[in-house]
Amino acid sequence: MDRISIIQPDDWHLHLRTGSVLNAVLAHSAAQFGRAIVMPNLRPPVTTVAQAQQYRAEILNALPVDATFQPLMTLYLTGATSAEEIAAVAAAEFVHGFKLYPAGATTNSEHGVADIHKVYPLFAQMEKLGVPLLLHGEVTDSDYDIFDREKIFIDTHLTAITREFPALKIVLEHLTTQQAVEFVSAANINVAATITPQHLKFNRNAMLAGGIRPHFYCLPILKRETHRLALVAAATSGNAKFFLGTDSAPHLTGLKEAACGCAGCYNAPVALALYAEVFDQAGALDKLEGFASFYGADFYGLPRNTQRITLQKQPWRVPDAYPLGADTITPLLAGESLSWQLVA
Protein backbone atom coordinates (compact mmCIF):
# COMPACT_ATOMS: atom_id res chain seq x y z
CA MET A 1 0.00 0.00 0.00
CA ASP A 2 1.53 3.32 -1.07
CA ARG A 3 -1.39 5.73 -0.58
CA ILE A 4 -3.90 6.07 2.26
CA SER A 5 -6.76 8.44 3.01
CA ILE A 6 -7.75 9.05 6.63
CA ILE A 7 -9.89 11.45 8.64
CA GLN A 8 -7.78 14.52 9.43
CA PRO A 9 -5.73 13.85 12.58
CA ASP A 10 -5.43 15.99 15.70
CA ASP A 11 -2.30 16.64 17.74
CA TRP A 12 -3.02 16.06 21.42
CA HIS A 13 0.27 17.57 22.68
CA LEU A 14 1.83 20.57 20.94
CA HIS A 15 4.15 23.45 21.83
CA LEU A 16 3.61 26.57 19.73
CA ARG A 17 5.46 29.18 21.82
CA THR A 18 4.54 32.81 21.19
CA GLY A 19 5.60 35.84 19.18
CA SER A 20 7.98 35.31 16.26
CA VAL A 21 8.48 31.60 17.01
CA LEU A 22 4.72 31.00 16.92
CA ASN A 23 4.50 32.81 13.59
CA ALA A 24 7.34 30.68 12.20
CA VAL A 25 6.02 27.25 13.21
CA LEU A 26 2.22 27.41 13.31
CA ALA A 27 1.65 26.72 9.62
CA HIS A 28 3.46 23.36 9.84
CA SER A 29 0.94 22.03 12.37
CA ALA A 30 -2.05 23.73 10.76
CA ALA A 31 -1.28 22.08 7.41
CA GLN A 32 -1.65 18.60 8.91
CA PHE A 33 -3.86 18.68 11.99
CA GLY A 34 -7.42 19.82 12.56
CA ARG A 35 -6.92 20.64 16.24
CA ALA A 36 -4.18 20.55 18.85
CA ILE A 37 -3.90 20.58 22.62
CA VAL A 38 -1.61 23.57 23.14
CA MET A 39 0.87 23.47 26.01
CA PRO A 40 0.85 26.37 28.50
CA ASN A 41 4.55 26.51 29.50
CA LEU A 42 5.24 29.97 28.17
CA ARG A 43 7.16 32.68 30.02
CA PRO A 44 5.18 33.66 32.02
CA PRO A 45 3.07 30.47 32.06
CA VAL A 46 -0.60 30.42 31.10
CA THR A 47 -2.28 29.93 34.48
CA THR A 48 -5.74 31.51 34.08
CA VAL A 49 -8.64 31.22 31.68
CA ALA A 50 -8.22 34.90 30.82
CA GLN A 51 -4.59 34.31 29.82
CA ALA A 52 -5.58 31.24 27.79
CA GLN A 53 -8.13 33.32 25.93
CA GLN A 54 -5.47 35.89 25.05
CA TYR A 55 -3.04 33.19 23.93
CA ARG A 56 -5.74 31.52 21.82
CA ALA A 57 -6.45 34.83 20.11
CA GLU A 58 -2.74 35.23 19.31
CA ILE A 59 -2.67 31.75 17.74
CA LEU A 60 -5.80 32.35 15.68
CA ASN A 61 -4.46 35.69 14.46
CA ALA A 62 -1.23 33.99 13.33
CA LEU A 63 -2.96 31.31 11.25
CA PRO A 64 -2.76 31.34 7.45
CA VAL A 65 -5.92 32.87 6.02
CA ASP A 66 -7.31 29.59 4.68
CA ALA A 67 -6.47 27.43 7.74
CA THR A 68 -9.21 25.71 9.73
CA PHE A 69 -6.92 24.64 12.59
CA GLN A 70 -8.37 25.02 16.10
CA PRO A 71 -6.17 25.46 19.20
CA LEU A 72 -7.44 23.64 22.29
CA MET A 73 -6.07 25.48 25.30
CA THR A 74 -4.72 24.21 28.62
CA LEU A 75 -3.66 25.86 31.88
CA TYR A 76 -0.42 25.37 33.77
CA LEU A 77 -1.13 23.80 37.16
CA THR A 78 0.77 25.37 40.07
CA GLY A 79 0.60 25.22 43.83
CA ALA A 80 -1.29 28.52 43.66
CA THR A 81 -4.04 27.25 41.33
CA SER A 82 -7.41 27.87 42.97
CA ALA A 83 -10.63 25.88 43.06
CA GLU A 84 -12.27 28.89 41.40
CA GLU A 85 -9.90 28.66 38.43
CA ILE A 86 -10.68 24.96 38.05
CA ALA A 87 -14.39 25.84 37.97
CA ALA A 88 -13.64 28.49 35.35
CA VAL A 89 -11.87 25.88 33.20
CA ALA A 90 -14.85 23.53 33.51
CA ALA A 91 -17.10 26.33 32.25
CA ALA A 92 -14.81 27.47 29.40
CA GLU A 93 -15.42 25.59 26.16
CA PHE A 94 -12.00 26.50 24.74
CA VAL A 95 -9.93 25.20 27.70
CA HIS A 96 -9.54 21.43 27.90
CA GLY A 97 -7.47 20.63 30.98
CA PHE A 98 -4.58 21.41 33.29
CA LYS A 99 -0.98 20.47 32.57
CA LEU A 100 1.08 19.32 35.54
CA TYR A 101 4.83 19.78 35.24
CA PRO A 102 6.88 18.50 38.16
CA ALA A 103 9.07 21.49 39.01
CA GLY A 104 12.29 21.30 37.00
CA ALA A 105 11.21 18.42 34.78
CA THR A 106 11.54 20.11 31.37
CA THR A 107 11.51 23.41 29.46
CA ASN A 108 9.89 26.27 31.38
CA SER A 109 8.83 24.01 34.24
CA GLU A 110 10.27 26.10 37.06
CA HIS A 111 6.74 27.16 38.06
CA GLY A 112 5.60 23.54 38.26
CA VAL A 113 4.49 21.48 41.23
CA ALA A 114 7.21 20.72 43.76
CA ASP A 115 5.12 18.46 46.02
CA ILE A 116 2.40 16.55 44.18
CA HIS A 117 0.65 15.49 47.38
CA LYS A 118 -0.07 19.15 48.15
CA VAL A 119 -2.21 19.50 45.02
CA TYR A 120 -4.41 16.50 45.79
CA PRO A 121 -7.27 18.88 46.75
CA LEU A 122 -7.02 20.32 43.23
CA PHE A 123 -7.20 16.81 41.76
CA ALA A 124 -10.38 16.22 43.78
CA GLN A 125 -11.93 19.39 42.35
CA MET A 126 -10.89 18.44 38.82
CA GLU A 127 -12.35 14.96 39.27
CA LYS A 128 -15.61 16.44 40.52
CA LEU A 129 -15.93 18.86 37.59
CA GLY A 130 -14.65 16.54 34.84
CA VAL A 131 -11.51 18.56 34.06
CA PRO A 132 -8.69 16.44 32.56
CA LEU A 133 -5.20 16.29 34.09
CA LEU A 134 -2.32 16.15 31.60
CA LEU A 135 0.86 14.82 33.18
CA HIS A 136 4.53 15.16 32.44
CA GLY A 137 5.25 11.89 34.19
CA GLU A 138 8.79 12.11 35.50
CA VAL A 139 10.35 12.57 38.91
CA THR A 140 13.00 15.25 39.11
CA ASP A 141 15.18 14.21 42.06
CA SER A 142 18.80 14.20 40.86
CA ASP A 143 19.37 10.93 42.74
CA TYR A 144 17.35 9.11 40.08
CA ASP A 145 18.83 8.09 36.73
CA ILE A 146 17.30 10.13 33.89
CA PHE A 147 16.39 6.93 32.03
CA ASP A 148 14.36 5.67 35.04
CA ARG A 149 12.42 8.80 35.93
CA GLU A 150 9.20 7.89 34.14
CA LYS A 151 9.00 4.47 35.75
CA ILE A 152 9.70 5.94 39.18
CA PHE A 153 7.01 8.60 38.68
CA ILE A 154 4.49 5.86 37.90
CA ASP A 155 5.50 3.82 40.94
CA THR A 156 5.76 6.79 43.29
CA HIS A 157 2.93 9.07 42.16
CA LEU A 158 0.71 7.92 39.32
CA THR A 159 -0.33 4.64 40.94
CA ALA A 160 -1.48 6.57 44.00
CA ILE A 161 -3.22 9.31 42.00
CA THR A 162 -5.28 6.83 39.99
CA ARG A 163 -6.18 4.96 43.17
CA GLU A 164 -7.24 8.10 45.05
CA PHE A 165 -9.07 9.71 42.11
CA PRO A 166 -10.49 6.91 39.94
CA ALA A 167 -12.87 9.21 38.03
CA LEU A 168 -10.18 11.80 37.20
CA LYS A 169 -9.41 11.84 33.49
CA ILE A 170 -5.63 11.57 33.11
CA VAL A 171 -3.42 11.74 30.04
CA LEU A 172 0.12 10.49 30.62
CA GLU A 173 1.89 12.62 28.05
CA HIS A 174 4.65 11.41 25.72
CA LEU A 175 5.10 8.04 27.40
CA THR A 176 8.42 6.36 26.68
CA THR A 177 8.72 3.03 28.51
CA GLN A 178 7.37 -0.47 28.51
CA GLN A 179 6.35 0.06 32.13
CA ALA A 180 4.26 3.07 31.14
CA VAL A 181 2.55 1.09 28.38
CA GLU A 182 1.73 -1.68 30.84
CA PHE A 183 0.42 0.78 33.43
CA VAL A 184 -1.86 2.64 31.01
CA SER A 185 -3.11 -0.61 29.48
CA ALA A 186 -4.09 -1.98 32.91
CA ALA A 187 -5.51 1.28 34.30
CA ASN A 188 -9.19 2.21 34.30
CA ILE A 189 -10.87 3.81 31.28
CA ASN A 190 -10.12 7.33 32.52
CA VAL A 191 -6.37 6.91 31.93
CA ALA A 192 -4.87 7.38 28.46
CA ALA A 193 -1.54 8.37 26.91
CA THR A 194 0.01 10.21 24.00
CA ILE A 195 2.99 8.90 22.03
CA THR A 196 5.40 11.06 20.02
CA PRO A 197 6.86 10.22 16.60
CA GLN A 198 10.43 10.40 17.91
CA HIS A 199 9.80 7.89 20.69
CA LEU A 200 8.10 5.54 18.21
CA LYS A 201 10.80 5.82 15.58
CA PHE A 202 14.07 6.12 17.50
CA ASN A 203 15.88 4.74 20.52
CA ARG A 204 18.65 6.48 22.45
CA ASN A 205 21.29 5.40 19.93
CA ALA A 206 19.91 8.06 17.58
CA MET A 207 20.93 10.71 20.10
CA LEU A 208 24.20 9.28 21.39
CA ALA A 209 25.82 6.75 19.05
CA GLY A 210 28.52 8.18 16.77
CA GLY A 211 28.41 11.59 18.43
CA ILE A 212 25.86 13.65 20.32
CA ARG A 213 22.95 14.75 18.10
CA PRO A 214 21.19 17.54 20.01
CA HIS A 215 18.08 17.67 17.86
CA PHE A 216 17.12 14.23 19.20
CA TYR A 217 17.40 15.45 22.79
CA CYS A 218 13.97 15.71 24.37
CA LEU A 219 12.38 15.07 27.75
CA PRO A 220 11.40 12.43 28.54
CA ILE A 221 14.62 11.24 26.94
CA LEU A 222 14.77 8.54 24.25
CA LYS A 223 15.02 5.06 25.78
CA ARG A 224 16.29 1.57 24.95
CA GLU A 225 15.08 -0.38 21.90
CA THR A 226 12.95 -2.67 24.09
CA HIS A 227 10.94 0.35 25.20
CA ARG A 228 10.58 1.67 21.65
CA LEU A 229 9.20 -1.67 20.52
CA ALA A 230 6.69 -1.62 23.38
CA LEU A 231 5.51 1.82 22.26
CA VAL A 232 5.13 0.65 18.65
CA ALA A 233 3.11 -2.35 19.83
CA ALA A 234 0.83 -0.07 21.86
CA ALA A 235 0.35 2.53 19.12
CA THR A 236 -0.43 -0.06 16.43
CA SER A 237 -2.60 -2.27 18.65
CA GLY A 238 -5.89 -0.49 18.09
CA ASN A 239 -6.14 0.16 21.84
CA ALA A 240 -8.02 3.47 22.18
CA LYS A 241 -6.02 4.42 25.29
CA PHE A 242 -3.07 5.40 23.07
CA PHE A 243 -3.21 8.29 20.64
CA LEU A 244 -1.14 10.82 18.73
CA GLY A 245 0.67 13.66 20.48
CA THR A 246 3.74 15.04 18.75
CA ASP A 247 5.22 17.07 21.63
CA SER A 248 6.68 19.19 18.82
CA ALA A 249 8.81 21.78 20.62
CA PRO A 250 10.57 24.48 18.58
CA HIS A 251 13.84 26.00 19.76
CA LEU A 252 16.23 28.27 17.93
CA THR A 253 19.06 26.31 16.34
CA GLY A 254 21.59 28.27 18.33
CA LEU A 255 19.96 27.20 21.59
CA LYS A 256 19.83 23.52 20.60
CA GLU A 257 23.39 23.36 19.27
CA ALA A 258 24.93 24.82 22.41
CA ALA A 259 27.07 23.77 25.35
CA CYS A 260 23.83 23.22 27.29
CA GLY A 261 21.34 22.43 24.55
CA CYS A 262 17.67 22.74 25.46
CA ALA A 263 15.26 19.80 25.40
CA GLY A 264 12.67 19.36 22.68
CA CYS A 265 12.34 18.01 19.14
CA TYR A 266 10.82 20.22 16.48
CA ASN A 267 8.98 17.48 14.63
CA ALA A 268 5.90 19.32 13.32
CA PRO A 269 7.05 19.35 9.66
CA VAL A 270 7.74 15.59 9.69
CA ALA A 271 5.27 14.25 12.25
CA LEU A 272 2.72 12.55 10.03
CA ALA A 273 5.44 11.22 7.74
CA LEU A 274 7.17 9.58 10.71
CA TYR A 275 3.97 8.12 12.12
CA ALA A 276 3.11 6.68 8.69
CA GLU A 277 6.61 5.15 8.39
CA VAL A 278 6.30 3.49 11.79
CA PHE A 279 2.85 2.07 11.10
CA ASP A 280 3.91 0.97 7.60
CA GLN A 281 7.00 -0.81 8.94
CA ALA A 282 4.82 -2.53 11.55
CA GLY A 283 2.35 -3.69 8.87
CA ALA A 284 -0.38 -1.69 10.61
CA LEU A 285 -1.34 1.17 8.30
CA ASP A 286 -4.97 0.17 8.85
CA LYS A 287 -4.55 1.17 12.52
CA LEU A 288 -3.14 4.64 11.84
CA GLU A 289 -6.50 6.39 11.47
CA GLY A 290 -7.73 5.28 14.89
CA PHE A 291 -4.49 6.31 16.60
CA ALA A 292 -4.19 9.63 14.76
CA SER A 293 -7.78 10.72 14.17
CA PHE A 294 -10.26 9.00 16.49
CA TYR A 295 -9.03 7.99 19.94
CA GLY A 296 -7.89 11.38 21.21
CA ALA A 297 -11.10 13.11 20.20
CA ASP A 298 -13.12 10.33 21.82
CA PHE A 299 -11.16 10.56 25.08
CA TYR A 300 -11.61 14.33 25.32
CA GLY A 301 -15.32 14.04 24.46
CA LEU A 302 -15.00 16.02 21.24
CA PRO A 303 -16.49 15.25 17.83
CA ARG A 304 -14.24 13.54 15.33
CA ASN A 305 -13.11 15.60 12.37
CA THR A 306 -14.91 15.13 9.08
CA GLN A 307 -12.32 16.35 6.56
CA ARG A 308 -9.92 13.83 5.09
CA ILE A 309 -6.22 13.93 4.25
CA THR A 310 -4.13 11.73 1.98
CA LEU A 311 -0.68 10.36 2.72
CA GLN A 312 1.48 8.96 -0.07
CA LYS A 313 4.59 6.79 -0.03
CA GLN A 314 6.90 9.05 -2.00
CA PRO A 315 10.41 10.10 -0.88
CA TRP A 316 11.09 13.72 0.03
CA ARG A 317 13.90 15.61 1.67
CA VAL A 318 13.42 17.41 4.97
CA PRO A 319 14.64 21.03 4.79
CA ASP A 320 17.89 21.81 6.58
CA ALA A 321 16.27 24.58 8.62
CA TYR A 322 13.46 27.13 8.69
CA PRO A 323 14.38 30.84 8.89
CA LEU A 324 13.55 32.95 11.92
CA GLY A 325 15.14 36.39 11.85
CA ALA A 326 18.89 36.08 12.16
CA ASP A 327 18.59 32.52 13.45
CA THR A 328 16.83 29.35 12.28
CA ILE A 329 14.75 26.50 13.66
CA THR A 330 16.11 23.08 12.75
CA PRO A 331 13.54 20.30 12.30
CA LEU A 332 14.00 16.74 13.40
CA LEU A 333 15.79 14.77 10.64
CA ALA A 334 16.94 17.93 8.89
CA GLY A 335 18.43 17.14 5.48
CA GLU A 336 17.37 13.50 5.59
CA SER A 337 14.92 11.61 3.38
CA LEU A 338 11.53 10.31 4.50
CA SER A 339 9.42 7.79 2.61
CA TRP A 340 5.91 9.14 3.36
CA GLN A 341 4.45 12.59 2.86
CA LEU A 342 1.19 14.48 3.12
CA VAL A 343 -0.40 15.10 -0.27
CA ALA A 344 -1.48 18.73 -0.39
pLDDT in tens, 303-334: 999 999 999 999 999 999 999 989 999 999 99
122 annotated to bind ligand? no
Mean pLDDT throughout 269-286? 98
Q: Predicted confidence band at 301 (pLDDT cuts at 50, 70, 90)?
A: very high
Q: Please give the pLDDT value at position 65.
A: 87
Q: Please give the pLDDT value at position 141.
A: 84
Arithmetic mean of pLDDT over the chain? 95
99 annotated to bind ligand? yes
Q: Which residues are catalytic?
A: 247
247 annotated to bind ligand? yes
The full set of domains in the chain, from first to last, is 3-342 (3.20.20.140)
117 annotated to bind ligand? no
Task: Judge whether 203 and 224 are in contact, CB under 8 Å.
Answer: yes
**Among 188, 177, 118, which Cα is nearest to 152's?**
177
Q: pLDDT, tens digit, for every residue of 96-112? A: 999 999 876 565 557 67
Q: pLDDT, tens digit, for every residue of 186-195? A: 999 999 999 9
Burial readout 307-323 (b: 16 or more C-beta within 10 A, e: otherwise): eebebebeeeebeeebe
